[in-house]
Amino acid sequence: RVDEHFQTTNSDIYAAGDVIGEPELETVAAKEGNHAVKNAFGNEGVSIDYDAVPAVVFTSPEVAVVGTTEREYMDEHGTCSCRTVQMEDVPRAKAVKNTDGLVQVVKHHETDGIVGVHMVGPRAADMIMEATLAVNFGLTVDDIINTVHPFPTFSEAFKHACQAFRRNTSKMSCCIE
Protein backbone atom coordinates (compact mmCIF):
# COMPACT_ATOMS: atom_id res chain seq x y z
CA ARG A 1 0.00 0.00 0.00
CA VAL A 2 1.30 3.45 -0.94
CA ASP A 3 0.10 7.01 -0.51
CA GLU A 4 -0.42 9.45 -3.40
CA HIS A 5 3.35 10.12 -3.41
CA PHE A 6 4.23 6.39 -3.71
CA GLN A 7 5.51 6.17 -0.13
CA THR A 8 4.77 2.92 1.70
CA THR A 9 3.87 2.63 5.38
CA ASN A 10 7.63 2.50 5.96
CA SER A 11 8.63 6.12 5.33
CA ASP A 12 12.00 5.02 3.89
CA ILE A 13 10.45 2.83 1.18
CA TYR A 14 8.68 3.93 -1.98
CA ALA A 15 6.99 1.62 -4.48
CA ALA A 16 5.74 1.79 -8.05
CA GLY A 17 4.43 -0.43 -10.82
CA ASP A 18 2.26 -3.52 -10.67
CA VAL A 19 2.96 -4.03 -6.97
CA ILE A 20 0.88 -0.97 -5.99
CA GLY A 21 -2.22 -2.14 -7.86
CA GLU A 22 -2.96 0.84 -10.08
CA PRO A 23 -3.41 0.40 -13.84
CA GLU A 24 -0.89 -2.30 -14.66
CA LEU A 25 0.53 -0.63 -17.73
CA GLU A 26 4.23 -0.24 -18.55
CA THR A 27 3.88 3.47 -19.20
CA VAL A 28 2.13 4.00 -15.86
CA ALA A 29 4.78 1.99 -13.99
CA ALA A 30 7.54 4.06 -15.60
CA LYS A 31 5.85 7.33 -14.59
CA GLU A 32 5.21 6.02 -11.06
CA GLY A 33 8.85 4.98 -10.74
CA ASN A 34 10.01 8.39 -11.91
CA HIS A 35 7.72 10.14 -9.44
CA ALA A 36 8.70 7.79 -6.60
CA VAL A 37 12.38 8.67 -7.10
CA LYS A 38 11.59 12.40 -7.22
CA ASN A 39 9.56 12.10 -4.03
CA ALA A 40 12.10 9.91 -2.22
CA PHE A 41 15.15 12.02 -3.03
CA GLY A 42 13.77 15.42 -3.87
CA ASN A 43 10.71 15.60 -1.64
CA GLU A 44 8.80 16.99 -4.63
CA GLY A 45 5.35 15.66 -3.71
CA VAL A 46 4.43 14.65 -7.28
CA SER A 47 1.57 12.26 -7.98
CA ILE A 48 -0.44 10.84 -10.88
CA ASP A 49 -4.05 11.58 -11.77
CA TYR A 50 -5.15 8.05 -12.65
CA ASP A 51 -8.38 9.40 -14.16
CA ALA A 52 -6.24 10.87 -16.93
CA VAL A 53 -4.33 7.69 -17.79
CA PRO A 54 -5.25 6.31 -21.21
CA ALA A 55 -5.62 2.59 -21.87
CA VAL A 56 -5.44 1.00 -25.30
CA VAL A 57 -6.30 -2.45 -26.60
CA PHE A 58 -4.55 -3.16 -29.88
CA THR A 59 -7.30 -5.16 -31.54
CA SER A 60 -8.95 -4.60 -34.87
CA PRO A 61 -10.61 -2.20 -34.49
CA GLU A 62 -8.51 -0.57 -31.78
CA VAL A 63 -10.08 0.38 -28.45
CA ALA A 64 -8.87 3.37 -26.43
CA VAL A 65 -10.28 4.94 -23.28
CA VAL A 66 -9.47 7.69 -20.82
CA GLY A 67 -11.39 9.04 -17.85
CA THR A 68 -14.89 8.38 -16.62
CA THR A 69 -17.37 6.11 -18.36
CA GLU A 70 -20.98 7.03 -19.02
CA ARG A 71 -22.15 4.55 -16.36
CA GLU A 72 -19.68 5.85 -13.75
CA TYR A 73 -20.82 9.40 -14.39
CA MET A 74 -24.50 8.41 -14.20
CA ASP A 75 -23.91 6.55 -10.93
CA GLU A 76 -22.17 9.57 -9.40
CA HIS A 77 -24.30 12.43 -10.76
CA GLY A 78 -27.62 10.85 -11.72
CA THR A 79 -27.37 12.37 -15.18
CA CYS A 80 -24.98 12.19 -18.07
CA SER A 81 -24.18 14.56 -20.83
CA CYS A 82 -22.68 12.21 -23.40
CA ARG A 83 -22.43 12.24 -27.16
CA THR A 84 -21.36 9.53 -29.56
CA VAL A 85 -20.39 9.84 -33.20
CA GLN A 86 -20.03 6.93 -35.56
CA MET A 87 -16.84 6.57 -37.58
CA GLU A 88 -19.04 6.35 -40.69
CA ASP A 89 -19.65 10.10 -40.19
CA VAL A 90 -15.92 10.93 -40.16
CA PRO A 91 -14.65 11.98 -43.61
CA ARG A 92 -11.23 10.30 -43.29
CA ALA A 93 -12.80 7.01 -42.25
CA LYS A 94 -15.10 7.18 -45.27
CA ALA A 95 -12.20 8.05 -47.58
CA VAL A 96 -10.21 4.97 -46.58
CA LYS A 97 -13.32 2.78 -46.30
CA ASN A 98 -12.67 1.94 -42.65
CA THR A 99 -15.82 3.13 -40.91
CA ASP A 100 -16.20 0.58 -38.11
CA GLY A 101 -16.30 2.22 -34.71
CA LEU A 102 -17.33 5.22 -32.69
CA VAL A 103 -16.13 7.98 -30.38
CA GLN A 104 -18.00 8.88 -27.21
CA VAL A 105 -17.35 11.97 -25.09
CA VAL A 106 -18.57 12.27 -21.50
CA LYS A 107 -18.66 15.86 -20.24
CA HIS A 108 -19.52 17.43 -16.92
CA HIS A 109 -23.19 18.39 -17.03
CA GLU A 110 -22.56 21.86 -15.56
CA THR A 111 -19.05 22.94 -16.62
CA ASP A 112 -18.79 21.24 -20.05
CA GLY A 113 -15.38 19.91 -18.94
CA ILE A 114 -14.46 16.67 -20.69
CA VAL A 115 -14.26 13.89 -18.09
CA GLY A 116 -14.09 10.80 -20.30
CA VAL A 117 -13.55 9.70 -23.88
CA HIS A 118 -14.02 6.22 -25.32
CA MET A 119 -13.03 5.21 -28.83
CA VAL A 120 -13.39 2.11 -30.94
CA GLY A 121 -12.07 2.31 -34.46
CA PRO A 122 -9.15 2.90 -36.75
CA ARG A 123 -6.30 4.88 -35.14
CA ALA A 124 -8.01 5.00 -31.73
CA ALA A 125 -4.63 4.40 -30.07
CA ASP A 126 -3.29 7.54 -31.74
CA MET A 127 -6.41 9.66 -31.27
CA ILE A 128 -6.69 9.04 -27.52
CA MET A 129 -3.81 11.41 -26.71
CA GLU A 130 -5.77 14.57 -27.53
CA ALA A 131 -8.58 13.25 -25.36
CA THR A 132 -6.10 12.47 -22.58
CA LEU A 133 -4.88 16.07 -22.62
CA ALA A 134 -8.50 17.25 -22.49
CA VAL A 135 -9.25 15.11 -19.43
CA ASN A 136 -5.93 15.91 -17.74
CA PHE A 137 -6.18 19.68 -18.16
CA GLY A 138 -9.95 20.05 -17.76
CA LEU A 139 -10.59 21.23 -21.31
CA THR A 140 -14.18 21.81 -22.40
CA VAL A 141 -15.94 20.62 -25.52
CA ASP A 142 -15.70 24.18 -26.85
CA ASP A 143 -11.91 24.14 -26.33
CA ILE A 144 -11.75 21.14 -28.66
CA ILE A 145 -14.27 22.59 -31.14
CA ASN A 146 -12.26 25.82 -31.31
CA THR A 147 -8.99 23.99 -31.97
CA VAL A 148 -8.13 23.69 -35.66
CA HIS A 149 -7.96 20.05 -36.69
CA PRO A 150 -6.39 19.03 -40.01
CA PHE A 151 -8.82 17.74 -42.62
CA PRO A 152 -9.30 14.92 -43.43
CA THR A 153 -7.90 13.08 -40.40
CA PHE A 154 -9.13 10.47 -37.97
CA SER A 155 -8.51 12.93 -35.13
CA GLU A 156 -11.50 14.91 -36.38
CA ALA A 157 -13.66 12.18 -34.85
CA PHE A 158 -12.97 13.56 -31.37
CA LYS A 159 -13.79 17.08 -32.53
CA HIS A 160 -17.01 15.81 -34.17
CA ALA A 161 -18.02 14.10 -30.91
CA CYS A 162 -17.54 17.42 -29.12
CA GLN A 163 -19.48 19.25 -31.85
CA ALA A 164 -22.33 16.78 -31.32
CA PHE A 165 -23.08 18.62 -28.07
CA ARG A 166 -23.89 21.68 -30.19
CA ARG A 167 -25.42 20.28 -33.42
CA ASN A 168 -26.25 17.17 -35.44
CA THR A 169 -22.89 16.12 -36.89
CA SER A 170 -24.13 13.25 -39.06
CA LYS A 171 -25.22 15.66 -41.80
CA MET A 172 -22.49 18.24 -41.25
CA SER A 173 -20.14 19.46 -43.96
CA CYS A 174 -16.44 19.05 -43.27
CA CYS A 175 -15.88 22.75 -42.74
CA ILE A 176 -18.82 23.64 -40.50
CA GLU A 177 -17.86 24.83 -37.06
Secondary structure of 122-139 in HEC code, one letter for each residue: CCHHHHHHHHHHHHHHCC
3-state helix, strand, coil in the chain (%, to 5): 40, 20, 45
At the topology level, CATH places domain 52-163 in Enolase-like; domain 1 (3.30.390)
Calculate mean pLDDT across residues 77-82.
92
Distance CA 87, CA 22 (A): 31
Residue intervals of the chain classified under CATH 3.30.390.30 are: 52-163
- pLDDT score recorded for residue 109: 93
Q: Is the peptide bond before 152 cis (omega within 30 degrees of 0)?
A: yes
**What average pLDDT score do residues 135-143 get?**
97
* Whether pLDDT at 157 is above 90: yes
Cα(93)–Cα(97) distance, integer angstroms: 6
pLDDT of 53 over the 60 cut: yes
**Alpha helix ranges (H) inside the chain:** 26-42, 70-77, 91-95, 124-137, 141-145, 156-163
Given its phi and psi angles, is residue 165 left (phi above 0), alpha (psi -120 to 50 degrees) or beta?
A: alpha
pTM: 0.87
Confidence of residue 172 (pLDDT cuts 50, 70, 90): low
The whole-angstrom separation of Cα 83 and Cα 81 is 7
Residue 176's pLDDT is 58
